C-alpha cells in the first residue's frame, strides 16, 4: 500500500513578489539616503492558499508471475485553487489614501477596478484539474 501526499505551500502572485522587492528597495533607500526609489502601486491581489492532495495505491503479487496494481489519484477530489483572484479597487475606494503611511515610491492607482474572482484561472502545471481518477493494471512476467 502507498499513500502519497502532494503539498504546495501558500504563494503570492508574481506581480506581488516584484512589488515587495520594490518596497524593500525603497525602505533601504529611505533609510540610507542612497540609491534610487522605485515606484509601485499597492496590490489588491489575494494570496493563493496552500494545496494538499492525497493519492492511494496498492500492489498485490497474486503469484510469482502475476501482479495487480490499483489506485486512486486525488483521493478526496480536491478542486484546484484559483490563482488570479483580486479584491480590486471598487468605486468609493480612496485611491489617494492607498499610499497613506506607506514607504516613499508608492503610486496610487489611477482608476477604480472591479474585484476579480479568478474566472476559473489556475496553474495547470501545479494544480490537479482532472479531479479524482482511478487506475488498475496487471503485470505478467514470463
Mean pLDDT across the stretch 98-107?
Answer: 87
Query: Range of 23's domain?
Result: 2-140
Mean pLDDT across the stretch 29-43?
Answer: 90
Q: Which three cell numbers stand for residue 43?
A: 496590490
pLDDT for residue 88 is more than 90: no
pLDDT at 125: 86
Q: CB–CB of 51/21 below 8 Å? A: no
pLDDT at 100: 86
Q: How many domains are there within the chain?
A: 1
pLDDT for residue 43 is more than 90: no
Site of grid cell 496498492:
58
Q: CB–CB of 85/122 below 8 Å? A: no
Amino acid at each position: 500500500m502507498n499513500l502519497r501526499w502532494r503539498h504546495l505551500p501558500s504563494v503570492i502572485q508574481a506581480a506581488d513578489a516584484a512589488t515587495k522587492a520594490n518596497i524593500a528597495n525603497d525602505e533601504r533607500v529611505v533609510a540610507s539616503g542612497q540609491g534610487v526609489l522605485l515606484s509601485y502601486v499597492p496590490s489588491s491581489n489575494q494570496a493563493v492558499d496552500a494545496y494538499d492532495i492525497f493519492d492511494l495505491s496498492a500492489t498485490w503479487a497474486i503469484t510469482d508471475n502475476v501482479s495487480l496494481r490499483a489506485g486512486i489519484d486525488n483521493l478526496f477530489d480536491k478542486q484546484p485553487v484559483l490563482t488570479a483572484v483580486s479584491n480590486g479597487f471598487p468605486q468609493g475606494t480612496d485611491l489617494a489614501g492607498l499610499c497613506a503611511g506607506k514607504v516613499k515610491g508608492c503610486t496610487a492607482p489611477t482608476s477604480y477596478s472591479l474585484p476579480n474572482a479568478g474566472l476559473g484561472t489556475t496553474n495547470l502545471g501545479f494544480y490537479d484539474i482532472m479531479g479524482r481518477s482511478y487506475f488498475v493494471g496487471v503485470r505478467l512476467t514470463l
